[in-house]
Chains A and B, each alone.
Chain A
Amino acid sequence: GNSVTQMEGPVTLSEEAFLTINCTYTATGYPSLFWYVQYPGEGLQLLLKATKADDKGSNKGFEATYRKETTSFHLEKGSVQVSDSAVYFCALSASPLTGANSKLTFGKGITLSVRP
């Protein structure tokens, strides 16, 4: 079945540091890939997505590139801010071409804390 593996956390960084959060996946066909973020006290919200190989999703200074050859979708940001402190989830949605439904399969999530 489909699965998503995220690097173990938590992660603590100083403001303006470079961020990488690793995500790898297992799925048949060509799934769509997502990063969701959950800020303290708020609901899950979509951060960025990519729907085909080599696509790059970007939003709020975050980027992730869909790498089919390594089945990865690592999240990066060049300079983190205190306001980026949150829980980050990598997720996939199976390809509709396989006949699968659109449910999201999530990784375990990783907590990022950014110090001033």
Chain B
Amino acid sequence: DVKVTQSSRYLVKRTGEKVFLECVQDMDHENMFWYRQDPGLGLRLIYFSYDVKMKEKGDIPEGYSVSREKKERFSLILESASTNQTSMYLCASSLGQVGDTQYFGPGTRLTVL
């Protein structure tokens, strides 16, 4: 079974702090994704990566950056956390073949005070 893990289930940070959210997958997947989920808005793509050291902006990249130094690990960075970044953050990975699905981690609920 595919396993996608995220470093924290719950996180509380203060405005202005630098925040790192870590995601690790154990199935040698090419693609990795970061989403945020807010009520009534579904999942919105922040960034994705289709290879090591490669990254692409999603629909809402402002205020975020990412890092993919190793194939299995994809980090989301909030350079200076703000209260409007309080949300559920979901990481996903996929093999990168036609018709493949994304496998999701359990999510990190981030609260910025």
Q: Do A and B come from one complex?
A: no
Listed in ascending order, the chain A residues whose CB lies under 8 Å from chain B are: none
Residues of chain B having any CB pair with chain A under 8 Å: none
